[in-house]
């Protein structure tokens, strides 16, 4: 019913000049154009530049609480879509091709409208033919800046990725559908870059405190980074602040798609401080911090301050409404005998012919029915049981959750987390926006060959 107050408000709008009338009835948001296109990188001397996929923006910067409309123009030769990884968006804006939207055809465009609810480090990446398009480099980091500025001497980004390069020093496109890799740990590259550079350098001054934002953008490689001779605190995980920054003197492991915000204290000595990737037998220098003199003395006598907390729905362990088990099976050296694929029960040999080798609860790839259905606001617990010989990085779209994993500090938020081979982890979250939300392994080749399901929020 139209009450008197509403009537007066509408009537007053109608009396405005046309220009002001348009402003009064048009939603206010910042318009951004994002062009998806090819790019080249000169990584190897005496060889042709490498052809990659990318966007015209190297980094997307949003302000907390602002609403933006992002026109994504697809200038690539194939259809695609963009998923806003870690962002709590409307379901229709989640960017999952075939589930929340049709793919953006080559030469076409799509408007994503997003409100940046949570400050932190996120990323946007292809979610159509992801195993191919992510391997080609179709992603960009996304930073939502805090409403109240968090003061550091420098705010730096470290996007680490691996690339499979062939003998011609070009991206190995021919091996993208290598099913042996899909059935094992996923596609692994032979070249590691930081911020798409093979020789990334950070220039810092004596005694500075820097905020270093880490993102593992690899298809499947688990990265472990070491920061010798540097003081390091974990500030946030997957965009969400820790209640108190946690001092860390051990190498930090990131599964695919995981992010960490760190505080790094630069020593009071001039020189070069390498950052290593140490997951293999031979450690690799993946970046260097070059420290030079400062024109003023910087000394820090106190621990770093915590970031402001984002307004996430609270976890209530004593009021779980939905409990569900998710059994992971399959892969090389696994025990998978059969699974249901596209409604048909198939033997493992029949599954392999269809490029499927992993299953969730006996189903390879997306089932017709959701793993569970919950009402918005209800508490959910999913026990994930990894009965495979491989670790998996599980990602839940549109939500953040807490987990009982001993692999991580207690009581932190995730949108992606590693589950070790043979391990079991319970995740807990409050059902969010209505819609269909994907839950999948972010070893992208594992997702493509079976490890994907979804939840329905009504």
pLDDT of 299 higher than 90 = no
What is the average per-residue pLDDT within 37-61?
Answer: 97
Please indicate, yes or no, whether residues 280 and 165 belong to a single structural domain of this protein: yes
| End-of-domain residue from the set 110, 145, 180 | 145
Q: Show which of 102, 120, 145 is a domain's final residue.
A: 145
Q: What is the pTM for the complete model shown?
A: 0.93
Q: Answer for the pair 129, 443: CB distance below 8 angstroms, yes or no.
A: no
Closest CA to 417 of 404, 398, 430: 404
348 and 400 part of one domain? yes
Given this model, what pLDDT does residue 318 score?
A: 96
Question: Residue 427 pLDDT more than 60?
Answer: yes
pLDDT surpasses 60 at 18: no
pLDDT mean across residues, the chain: 94
Highest mean pLDDT among 13-27, 79-93, 292-306: 79-93
Residue 255 within any structural domain of the chain: yes
The more confident residue out of 129 and 3 is 129
- Lowest mean per-residue pLDDT among 133-147, 287-301, 343-357: 287-301
- Same domain for 371 and 282: no
| pLDDT confidence of residue 182 | 97
Give yes or no: residues 127 and 168 share one domain.
no
Instruction: Indicate if 47 and 137 belong to the same structural domain.
Output: yes
pLDDT at 191: 97
Q: Are residues 160 and 279 in the same domain?
A: yes
Please check whether residues 68 and 138 belong to one and the same domain: yes
Q: What is the pLDDT of residue 250?
A: 95
The answer to whether 205 and 267 are in contact (CB under 8 A) is no
Residue 216: its pLDDT value, please?
A: 98
| 122 shares a domain with 191 | no
DSSP-derived pairing of the beta strands 201-205 and 231-237: unpaired
| In the predicted structure, residue 10 carries a pLDDT above the cut 50 | no
| Residue 286 and residue 389 in one domain | no
What pLDDT does residue 23 have? 46
Tell me: do 432 and 325 sit in the same domain: yes
Q: Is residue 15 part of a domain?
A: no
pLDDT computed for residue 14 by the predictor: 47
In this structure, the answer to whether residues 330 and 249 fall within a common structural domain is no
Is 216 a domain residue?
yes
Residue 330, by phi and psi: left (phi above 0), alpha (psi -120 to 50) or beta?
A: left
pLDDT at position 21: 42
| Higher pLDDT, residue 282 or 329 | 329
Task: Summarize pLDDT for 22-32 with one digit per residue, the tens.
Answer: 444 456 899 99
Q: Has residue 447 been placed in a domain?
A: yes
Residue 26 has what pLDDT?
55
Q: How far apart are CA 130 and CA 184, in angstroms?
A: 18
Per-residue pLDDT tens for 162-174?
999 999 999 999 9
**Structural domain of residue 423, as residue ranges?**
317-457
Strands 344-347, 338-341: pairing is antiparallel
CA dihedral over 105, 106, 110, 112, signed as positive or negative: positive
361 in a structural domain: yes
Assign residue 336 the CATH number of its domain: 2.60.40.420
Do 179 and 254 have their domain in common?
yes
pLDDT of residue 421: 97
Q: What is the DSSP string of 269-320?
A: S-EEEEEEE-SSSS-EEEEEEEEE--SS-----SPPPPPPPP-PPPP-GGGE
Tell the residue number behind the tokens 């910087």, with chain if given.
298
**Per-residue pLDDT at 3:** 54
Is there a domain that residue 241 lies in?
Answer: yes
Tell me if 307 is assigned to some domain. Answer: no
Give tens-digit pLDDT for 247-271: 999 999 999 999 999 999 999 999 9
The span from the CA of 139 to the CA of 260, in Å, is: 17
pLDDT at 300: 84
- Structural domain count, the chain: 3
Position 301 scores a pLDDT of: 80
Q: Is residue 337 part of a domain?
A: yes
pLDDT tens by residue, 170-198 = 999 999 999 999 999 999 999 999 999 99
pLDDT tens for each residue of 387-408: 999 999 999 999 999 999 999 9
Report residue 61's pLDDT band, with 50, 70 and 90 as the boundaries: very high
Q: Which residue has the higher pLDDT, 87 or 10?
A: 87
């Amino acid at each position: 019913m139209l009450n008197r107050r509403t009537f007066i408000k509408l009537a007053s709008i109608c009396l405005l000049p046309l220009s002001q009338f348009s402003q009064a009835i048009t939603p206010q948001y910042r318009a951004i154009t994002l062009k998806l296109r090819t790019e080249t990188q000169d990584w190897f001397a005496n060889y042709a530049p490498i052809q990659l996929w990318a966007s015209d923006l190297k980094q997307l910067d949003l302000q907390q609480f602002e609403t933006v409309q992002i026109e994504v123009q697809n200038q690539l030769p194939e259809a695609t879509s963009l998923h806003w990884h870690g962002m709590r968006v409307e379901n229709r804006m989640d960017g999952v091709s075939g589930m929340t939207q049709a793919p953006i055809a080559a030469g076409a465009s799509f408007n994503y409208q997003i409100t940046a609810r949570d400050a932190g480090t996120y990323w946007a990446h292809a979610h159509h033919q992801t195993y191919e398009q992510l391997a080609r480099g179709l992603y960009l980091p996304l930073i939502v800046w805090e409403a109240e500025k968090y003061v550091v001497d420098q705010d730096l980004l470290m996007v680490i990725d691996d690339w499979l390069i062939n003998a011609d020093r070009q991206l190995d496109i021919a091996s993208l559908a290598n099913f042996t890799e899909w059935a094992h740990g996923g596609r692994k590259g032979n070249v590691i870059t930081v911020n798409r550079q093979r020789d990334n350098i950070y220039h810092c001054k004596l005694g500075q405190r820097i905020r270093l934002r880490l993102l593992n953008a690899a298809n499947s490689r688990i990265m472990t980074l070491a920061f010798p001779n540097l003081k390091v605190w974990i500030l946030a995980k997957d965009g969400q602040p820790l209640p108190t920054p946690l001092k860390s003197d051990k190498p930090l492991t990131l599964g695919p798609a995981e992010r960490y915000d760190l505080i790094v204290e630069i020593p009071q000595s001039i020189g070069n401080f390498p950052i290593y990737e140490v997951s293999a037998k031979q450690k690799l220098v993946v970046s260097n911090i070059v420290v030079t003199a400062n024109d003023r003395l910087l000394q820090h006598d106190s621990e770093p301050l915590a970031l402001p907390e984002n307004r996430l729905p609270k976890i209530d362990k004593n009021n779980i409404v939905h409990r569900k088990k998710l059994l992971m099976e399959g892969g090389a050296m696994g025990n998978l005998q059969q699974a249901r694929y596209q409604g048909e029960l198939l033997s493992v040999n029949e599954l392999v012919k269809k490029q499927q080798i992993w299953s969730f609860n006996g189903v390879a790839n997306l089932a017709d029915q959701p793993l569970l259905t919950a009402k918005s606001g209800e508490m959910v617990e999913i026990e994930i049981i990894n009965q495979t010989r491989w670790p998996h990085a599980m990602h839940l779209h549109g939500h953040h959750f807490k987990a009982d994993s001993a692999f991580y500090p207690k009581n932190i938020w995730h949108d992606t987390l590693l589950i070790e081979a043979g391990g079991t982890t319970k995740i807990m979250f409050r059902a969010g926006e209505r819609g269909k939300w994907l839950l999948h392994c972010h070893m992208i080749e594992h997702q493509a060959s079976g490890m994907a399901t979804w939840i329905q929020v009504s």
